[in-house]
Structure 1
Amino acid sequence: MATQQGYYGVTPPIATSESSEREKEVTVTLMEELRQQNVFESEEESRTREIVLGRVAALVKKFVRTVSLARGLSEAAANAAGGKIFTFGSYRLGVHGPGADIDTLCVVPKHVSREDFFDVFEAMLREVEGVTEVSGVPEAYVPVIKTKISGIPLDFLMARLALSSIPDDLSLQDDNLLRNLDERCVRSLNGSRVTDEILRLVPNVQVFRDSLRCIKLWATRRAIYSNVNGFLGGVAWAMLVARICQLYPNAIAGAIVSRFFIIMYQWSWPQPVLLKQIEEGPLQVRVWNPKLYPGDRSHRMPIITPAYPAMCATHNVTASTQMIMTEEFKKGADIVDKVIVGTASWSELFEKHDFFHKYRYYLQVIASTGDPELQIKWAGTVESRIRQLVMKLEYVDSLTLAHPFVKGFENVSYCLSEEEVQAVAQGEISDAIANRKKEDIEGKEGASAVYSTTFYIGLAIEPKQPGAVGPRRLDISYPTTEFTKMVKLWEHFNESKMGIVVRHIKSSGLPDCVFDPGERPAKLVQKRVKGPGKSSDTSPHKPAKKQRSSNTAPEASLKSSATAGSSASTPVSLPPVAGAQSIYVAKEHLEVKSPQLPFGENVAVATGPLGAS
């Protein structure tokens, strides 16, 4: 750290020189581009956030007072019990954009329990003026209540300190506050403590913020901003940018961004990224060291939080997501090099990802229920386990990469019959269902709404080996079956209310909702000349008819299942992914086997050709 060593971070800076005139010029154009990209919120929204946080702060004090009285404390003691909020994440870092949520930590005294937080505080939130939605997830790794007040989304965490009251001037920097706390409270406190440490450990906070805004926008546009799906989350991106700021303490935003991509692409993983050396102290904090702690060796891109307890912020990264991010770092480095020399503009750095144009085959993971609030929890549970499916797919022969998309696509379907309900739960939404509105089913017997969230995983398939003959098999039955079993181990899983489907589809079968208007590529139509005595039905150049999956009869409620979609018999050209070569497979088939589920559940084993004449 600067006060002890003369510099920020665990190593001396790479360069301490001021930015060049060219770097100053590209910083000006970078900030202009960020404004055009609408990454800054309006003054009106900023004021609304401040008003909402003021109301929330008062509500937390009221919540603590209410519980204190219920515990038998006197009126005076209940009033003195306090309660305080701390913001963290992008809002605390000062890099949030329009519509971003506010991560909010509620700190309460020792006599207020987590059960009170989800029973009393959640109920109080529902009564607040301007609240449009409230959803508590007490069983999450970091228990959270999600809500929206006056249009501002907030995520509430709770930490219960071993104090009889919470003073208004409380600071969370003291490590001793963590004594005698349960792990969930420590995890909840960690977000705020880490955010404050990051701001304290950067040489120039404004340069850090400008640079981080750029990197966050880039990572979002390139679809690699998602901790839950195995990429990097907000805190990891913030620590990477902070480390570059430490290495170039006098550089401005344009220079930091350009060096960020070069260094990230060349970084020697699994060398850990540390903002500061964590010294042993009264709480026995130790430097993160993979040699001392063998379990840490599994971290592929270790980025270690600067506050006690030191945690790896990137434990979700898999082999596939690491390859994808490395490729994106390389592309970003190429673009910023051109920006510096004047042959490219910053807008090229922020071009949208090509995920839904990149692969020939995709897996769909469809989570569905009949209730909107239940759907939020069920879809969140399924999403949190997608990473496990990706890791299992990485071991499948013939797959070179399993690429998860960073968000799910939500849909509400209005069904007139149980048969339509089952079809929607399987991912089969007809035009009639898709065009139906809520009012079309009101008052009709047997009609209901189905809420579904669909997640996608792109599959990169290795080229056929020279001289190989016969069909190749892509057997995904084990990873998909194990995934569905794992998801259904959720303690609140209800077979009659929740559906889970895993199936493979071709790129041509992707729904319109995954594309922006006008983005979907036009389907190629090949003209075929009929020869003498030849009909279109027997032409060897005509794709084979689609094979339909065989399903058991639908039951009276949503049933969880894993199925495979059908595939047409057409040639395939796979684009390059993270170093993989483009391939073209002609007159060759790939059989994709989906899981055979036990206990008489809905079953479909479909074999779809990858390529044909």
Structure 2
Amino acid sequence: MSSANTMSVPTFGISQPISMDLPSKKDVLLNKSLTETLKSFNCFEASEETSQRVKVLKKLNFLVKKWIHRLTITRIPMGQCVDAGGKLIAFGSYRLGVHSSGSDIDTLVLAPRHVTRMDFFTSFKKILMEDSEVKDLLAVETAFVPIMTLNYSGIDIDLLFARLDLPTVPDTIDLSDDNILKNLDQESVRSLNGCRVAEQLLKQVPNQAAFCETLRAVKLWAKNHGIYSNAMGFFGGITWAILVARTCQLYPNATPSKLIQKVFFVFSTWKWPTPVILKHMEDRFDMKNLNQLVWNPRRNYADKLHMMPIITPSFPEQNSTHNVSRSTLQVIQNEMKETFKVCEDIQKGTSTWKDLLEETNFFCKYKHFIAVSINAETEKEETDFAGFFESRIRQLIQLLERNSQVQTAQVNTRKFKSPGKSQWFIGLEFIQAAKSLDLTEEIKRFKKNIGNQAKEKIGTVQIEAAYVKRSNLINYISAAELKRGKFMKNDTSPEKENADRKRPTTTKSGDAVKKPRTAVNSIGSIPTTF
């Protein structure tokens, strides 16, 4: 490319695009079929549900303003004459325009400096409890990001709180201004992060409509392929949004039908741990405490250990994938490589969008599993503990990975629920030379870690773990669950397994040799209960 042409090409993010090509007729036709396929998967909510969401947000915004006004009257001289404002802001998938029917809404309460977090969890919580429209209210004050969850008039709401160092909070407040973070507590900074990231994402993409439809499809794909969960070591919604946004920057004129293919092309060949960055990062020396939180592997040793760094675009820029482990990196890479092949087939007309987006079967991928479950005397106790436990399962994956004979450990992101019990399954793949394996110590260490972290939360909860062969899974879950989703073509299919039993291996001379026994015949030493 000549220097003159280079100067005429716009820059999106940190580099110039890979291609400025305009959509072809085939791209447009494929995009129409993509939209129809997404509709068939119920990715778009009905207009009635959209209207209900808007009504709920208006009601909650009114309650926030009324609550702040009451506190202002009691705490500010001549408070009845002061309009301290306050505001409820939606972020996450709802703000990005990629929410689906039945999904929750992430929201943030913005309050002026004379309203505290304690007020939020006491007087505002009381207002919600007295509201007949509110159900299933749960407050978690000690969470890393303190939160209240509730159902308001049929809509699930996640409610965060941020106390700004401002006397009033106007409706026109600009959260993209970094100065708004000055003098805030860490909880408020974390709570603001989701809103600020969502706004930056929309600013960084050249075509918001193309970004939104591409992201909608990629999120559906990730969920149906079992790799959508930040807590379990995969990618969460923000991470997938950043990858799609970066692809939009590299192919600014492409349709979603082309962008989906490019997402898997770019990131199936990405040289990890090279970071994915949407915009240049600048040091903010006027906010030293926050500047130290910025992802910087040259300054912070822990950042050097991140395997797939994907950096949020708002200050303080942080890695959204710090939970990724060796196994989840491998699983994500394999899924992307296989999906890129499907995308190429779609372009050729030999596959359809349904082939790409439909749910896949987890249990056909592995021959060996660990079933991990929790039981409690009461349903409430089990439900309260399940969320905490699920967010720690990745720690067991990391312990299993340290065993030299374990090649891959992948947790099924779906939870299997029965009265008083929640259960998860971890698929195991072992190195080819593995003969005998005992994972008792890894399981014991995990249980000990959970006990230390849970403390008073554990109550009557019991943790159980058992080794399960694929042929015995029917004793743990229903046949319908075992058959759920599309069975992928791989070397662990039942047909392949039976063929391997019958077919001996051979030497170069053609002589048959006895196949070595593979792993896990002695993994059963895992205790069933601790």
Shorter-chain-normalised TM-score: which range? Answer: 0.7 to 0.9
Q: How many residues are aligned here?
A: 497
Which among 592, 597, 601 is matched to residue 523 of structure 2?
592
Deviations 1:132-164 (A, max 9, x none): 211112222211111111221111111111122
- Asked if 1:480 is matched to 2:483, the reply is no
1:171-570 pair list within 5 angstroms: 171-281=174-284, 282-283=286-287, 285=291, 288-412=295-419, 451-464=420-433, 472-490=435-453, 493-494=456-457, 496-507=459-470, 508-510=472-474, 513=477, 516=480, 519=483
1:18-37 pair list within 5 angstroms: 18-37=22-41
Deviations 1:536-570 (A, max 9, x none): xxxxxxxxxxxxxxxxxxxxxxxxxxxxxxxxxx9
Which among 153, 156, 168 is matched to residue 153 of structure 1?
156
Cα distance change on mapping 1:258 and 1:100 into 2, 3 Å: same
Where in structure 2 are there 5+ consecutive unaligned residues? 1-7, 486-493, 501-513
Measure how far apart 1:65 and its partner are: 3.4
Q: Percent identity?
A: 35
Decide whether the 8 Å contact of 1:65 with 1:78 is kept in 2: no
Which among 34, 52, 58 is matched to residue 56 of structure 2?
52
Higher helix residue share: 2
Deviations 1:278-312 (A, max 9, x none): 12344365984423433211111100011001110
1:565-580 pair list within 5 angstroms: 573=497
Q: In angstroms, what is the RMSD of aligned CA positions?
A: 2.9
1:529 matched residue in structure 2: none
Deviations 1:323-375 (A, max 9, x none): 11111101110001011011111110012222122222222222233444443
- TM-score norm. by structure 2 comes to 0.87
Cα distance change on mapping 1:573 and 1:310 into 2, 3 Å: same
Deviations 1:92-115 (A, max 9, x none): 000000001100011112232222
Measure how far apart 1:73 and its partner are: 3.7
Deviations 1:207-258 (A, max 9, x none): 0011111101111110111100000000000000000000011111111111
Measure how far apart 1:458 and its partner are: 1.1
Decide whether the 8 Å contact of 2:375 with 2:421 is kept in 1: yes
Decide whether the 8 Å contact of 1:264 with 1:329 is kept in 2: yes
Equivalent position amino acid for 1:590 in 2 = N
Decide whether the 8 Å contact of 1:225 with 1:231 is kept in 2: yes
1:162 matched residue in structure 2: 165
Decide whether the 8 Å contact of 1:108 with 1:161 is kept in 2: yes
Decide whether the 8 Å contact of 1:360 with 1:574 is kept in 2: no
1:20-99 pair list within 5 angstroms: 20-68=24-72, 72-73=75-76, 76-77=79-80, 80-99=83-102
2:4 matched residue in structure 1: none
Measure how far apart 1:118 and its partner are: 2.1
Measure how far apart 1:586 and its partner are: 5.5
Aligned counterparts of 1:26 and 1:575: Cα–Cα separation in 2: 39
Task: Describe the SS at the equivalent of 2:483.
Answer: coil
Where in structure 1 are there 5+ consecutive unaligned residues? 413-450, 466-471, 522-569, 577-582, 604-613
Decide whether the 8 Å contact of 1:397 with 1:474 is kept in 2: no
- Asked if 1:124 is matched to 2:127, the reply is yes
Deviations 1:463-496 (A, max 9, x none): 346xxxxxx3322222211211222223552554
Decide whether the 8 Å contact of 1:480 with 1:594 is kept in 2: no
Aligned counterparts of 2:475 and 2:168: Cα–Cα separation in 1: 54
Measure how far apart 1:510 and its partner are: 4.5
Cα distance change on mapping 1:229 and 1:141 into 2, 3 Å: same
Aligned counterparts of 2:370 and 2:198: Cα–Cα separation in 1: 36
Equivalent position amino acid for 2:483 in 1 = E
Deviations 1:59-115 (A, max 9, x none): 21233234445x644573586232211111100000000001100011112232222
Task: Describe the SS at the equivalent of 2:456.
Answer: coil
Which among 10, 14, 21 is matched to residue 17 of structure 1?
21
Aligned counterparts of 2:217 and 2:83: Cα–Cα separation in 1: 44
Give the greater-gyration-radius structure (CA): 1
Measure how far apart 1:131 and its partner are: 2.1
Decide whether the 8 Å contact of 2:436 with 2:519 is kept in 1: no
Decide whether the 8 Å contact of 1:244 with 1:259 is kept in 2: yes
Cα distance change on mapping 1:152 and 1:259 into 2, 3 Å: same
Equivalent position amino acid for 2:416 in 1 = F
Cα distance change on mapping 1:587 and 1:194 into 2, 3 Å: closer
Equivalent position amino acid for 1:212 in 2 = L
Aligned counterparts of 1:125 and 1:575: Cα–Cα separation in 2: 61
Measure how far apart 1:316 and its partner are: 0.7
Task: Describe the SS at the equivalent of 2:453.
Answer: coil
Decide whether the 8 Å contact of 1:221 with 1:352 is kept in 2: yes
Aligned counterparts of 2:108 and 2:499: Cα–Cα separation in 1: 44
Aligned counterparts of 2:80 and 2:379: Cα–Cα separation in 1: 41
Cα distance change on mapping 1:178 and 1:520 into 2, 3 Å: closer
Equivalent position amino acid for 1:386 in 2 = I
Deviations 1:259-293 (A, max 9, x none): 11111110111111011001234436598442343
Cα distance change on mapping 1:294 and 1:130 into 2, 3 Å: same
Task: Describe the SS at the equivalent of 2:523.
Answer: strand
1:530 matched residue in structure 2: none
Cα distance change on mapping 1:9 and 1:291 into 2, 3 Å: same
Decide whether the 8 Å contact of 2:363 with 2:482 is kept in 1: no
Aligned counterparts of 2:242 and 2:339: Cα–Cα separation in 1: 18
Cα distance change on mapping 1:354 and 1:215 into 2, 3 Å: same
Aligned counterparts of 1:503 and 1:68: Cα–Cα separation in 2: 57
Task: Describe the SS at the equivalent of 2:333.
Answer: helix
Task: Describe the SS at the equivalent of 2:363.
Answer: helix
1:546 matched residue in structure 2: none
Aligned counterparts of 1:20 and 1:151: Cα–Cα separation in 2: 43
Aligned counterparts of 1:251 and 1:571: Cα–Cα separation in 2: 41
Equivalent position amino acid for 1:244 in 2 = T
Deviations 1:448-469 (A, max 9, x none): xxx222122111122346xxxx
